[in-house]
Amino acid sequence: MSYIPKPKVHHPSLRKNLIGLTRRDYEGSITTLCAGCGHDSVTAAIIQAFWELEIEPHKVAKLSGIGCSSKTPAYFLRESHGFNSVHGRMPSLATGAAAANRDLIMIGISGDGDSLSIGLGQLCHAIRRNVNLLYVLENNGVYGLTKGQFSAAADIGTTSKKGEVNEMGPVDGVLLALSLGATFVARSFSGDKEQLVPILKAGIRHQGFAFVDVISPCVTFNDHEGSTKAYAYTREHQHGVVAADFVPERSEITTEYPEGSTQEVTMHDGSRLRLRKLDPDYNPTDRDRAYSYIRERQASGETVTGLLYIDPDSKDMMSTISRPLYNRPYESLCPGSAALDKLQARFR
C-alpha cells in the first residue's frame, strides 16, 4: 500500500540531470510489496528511465488497473498524477486521458492477470487504437494478492507453489501484441536493468502504444523450481536478441559497431534508437520474422528478450488532433446562437 510517505532527503552529491533533478525526485512512496519482488526492480528501472530522459515529472500521467503491479505507480514519480483504477480497465482510461490531452506523457502499469485475463479485451483494443502510451506488463504468471492462483500467462507444465500443474496454454502478451499490429513490442526481465531501462526510454518516446512485457518474478508465490517465471529459470532461459540504445536528439552517436550489426530508427521527436542485434538473423522491423523467430525459440525453451519489434512510422490515434482538447477555449468550441438558428432550417 502507498500510505508510507518517503522522506524527501537529497544528498548533495546525488547526480542531477539536465533539468536539475536527481533520481530521488522521480521516486514515490515506499513500496509495500514483498521484499525481492520483481516489480520493485521494474519501478527502479522506470525511475531511472524518466530521470535519464529528463522529463518533468508533472508532465507524466501514470495509470494502472488492480493487482500487485497496479500498486506500483504509487512508488515512482510522486509529482505525477496517478490513477489506480478498476481491474483490467486501465487501457480505456488511458485512451480517454490521451484523447483529452495529447501532450501528457503516459505510462500504464499492469500485470498478467490485469492484462491477459480480465483486461484482455481492453489491452487488445488499446493496441489496435495505437494509444500513445508506454504499457508495462509486469508478468509473474500468478495472482499474488489472492494468494497464488495461475494467471493466463502461466506456461503449460508450470507448477504452482503447492505442486499443481498448469495444463492450459498461456496467452503470450508479446505474440498477441505482434499479431494485433502493435507498433512497439518488447520483452525484458526485471533482473536485467541494463536491457530494460533503454527499452522503457524508447517506449516513452515512441509515438503510439509501446508494449513492454517484463518477466517480473513473484518471490512469494512463483519463484520455486517448476515455475517458468522464477528468477533462476528466467536467467537461464532468457535469450536477448536486440539491445536498444536510446540516443537523445542532441547527442551524437560515438560508439562504433561492426557493419550490419546495428539498425537505426529515428523517433518522431527526432531522437534516435540504435538497435544492436545480438543475433544477426534478427530484424526488429520485420513483424512476421519477429513472430516466427520468437515462436521457434519458444519451442526450444528459450524466452526471447529485447526490443523485438518497432514500426518507425507509427502514428497514434490522434492523427488529426495536434493540440490538447481539454483546454481549448470554449469560444472556439461553441458554434453560437446564429449558427444554431441557421442549422435549424434543416429541421423544418
Partner 1 sequence: MKDQVNDFAFKIGTPNGTGSASANGLVMQTIFRMGIPVTGKNLFPSNIQGLPTWYEIRVNKNGYVARTPVFDLMVAMNSATYAQDVAEVRPGGWLLYDSSWPLDDRLIRPDVSYIGVPIAQMCGEAFKGVRERILMKNIVYAGALAALLDMDTEIIRGLTREKFSKKPALLDSNDGAINLGYFYVKEHYESPLPIRLEKMDKTGDSILIDGNTSASLGCVYAGATVGAWYPITPSTSMMEGFKGFCQRFRHNPETNEDDYMIVQAEDELSAIGIVIGASWAGARAFTPTSGPGISLMNEFLGLAYYSEVPTVVFDVQRTGPSTGMPTRTQQGDLLLCAYASHGDTKHLCLYPSDPREAFEFAVVAFDLAEHFQTPVLVLTDLDIGMNDWMIPKLTWDDSYVPKRGKVLSAEELEAAVSFSRYLDVDGDGIPYRTLPGVHPKGAFFTRGSGHNKFGAYTEDGFEYQEVLDRIARKIETARTAVPPPVFIRREGAKVGLITVGGCHAACVEALDQLPGVEYMRVRGFPFAPEVREFLDSHEVNFVVEQNRDGQLRSLLILDTGVCGDKLKSIRYYSGFPMSAQHVLAGLKA
120 is a contact residue toward partner 1 (CB under 8 A): no
Relative to beta strand 209-215, strand 184-189 is parallel
* Binds partner 1 (CB under 8 A): choice among 10, 59, 147, 315: 59
* The three three-digit cell numbers of residue 47, written as one number: 525511475
Relative to beta strand 209-215, strand 238-247 is unpaired
53 is a contact residue toward partner 1 (CB under 8 A): no
19 is a contact residue toward partner 1 (CB under 8 A): no
348 is a contact residue toward partner 1 (CB under 8 A): yes
Rg (C-alpha) for the chain, rounded Å, is: 21
User: Which residue matches cell numbers 552517436?
Assistant: 253
Task: Compare residues 295 and 342 and give the one whose CB is closer to partner 1.
Answer: 342
22 is a contact residue toward partner 1 (CB under 8 A): no
- β-pair partners for 165: 159
334 is a contact residue toward partner 1 (CB under 8 A): yes
Task: Compare residues 92 and 151 and give the one whose CB is closer to partner 1.
Answer: 92
Task: Compare residues 9 and 299 and give the one whose CB is closer to partner 1.
Answer: 9
- Collapsing DSSP to helix, strand or coil, 337 comes out as helix
Stretch that binds partner 1, among 46-54, 58-66, 219-227, 256-264 (CB under 8 A): 58-66
Nearest Cα to 130, choosing from 94, 82, 87, 100?
94
124 is a contact residue toward partner 1 (CB under 8 A): yes
Q: What is the closest distance, in whole angstroms, from the C-beta atom of residue 101 to partner 1 in the complex?
A: 5
d(CA 158, CA 286) in angstroms, rounded, equals 31
* Binds partner 1 (CB under 8 A): choice among 17, 30, 34, 83: 83
* Binds partner 1 (CB under 8 A): choice among 38, 82, 198, 240: 82
* The three three-digit cell numbers of residue 263, written as one number: 539498425
8 is a contact residue toward partner 1 (CB under 8 A): no
Stretch that binds partner 1, among 7-15, 74-82, 171-179, 192-200 (CB under 8 A): 74-82
129 is a contact residue toward partner 1 (CB under 8 A): yes
- Collapsing DSSP to helix, strand or coil, 116 comes out as helix
Which residues touch 207 (CB under 8 Å, ≥6 apart)? 132, 267, 268, 269, 314, 315, 316
Distance of CA 222 to the CA centre of its chain: 22
Q: Is 143 exposed, middle or buried (0-12, 13-18, 19+ CB in 10 A)?
A: buried
Return residues touching partner 1 (CB under 8 A): 1-3, 56-61, 63, 73-74, 78-86, 89, 91-101, 103-104, 121-122, 124-125, 129, 317-318, 320-323, 325-328, 330, 332-337, 339-341, 343-344, 347-348
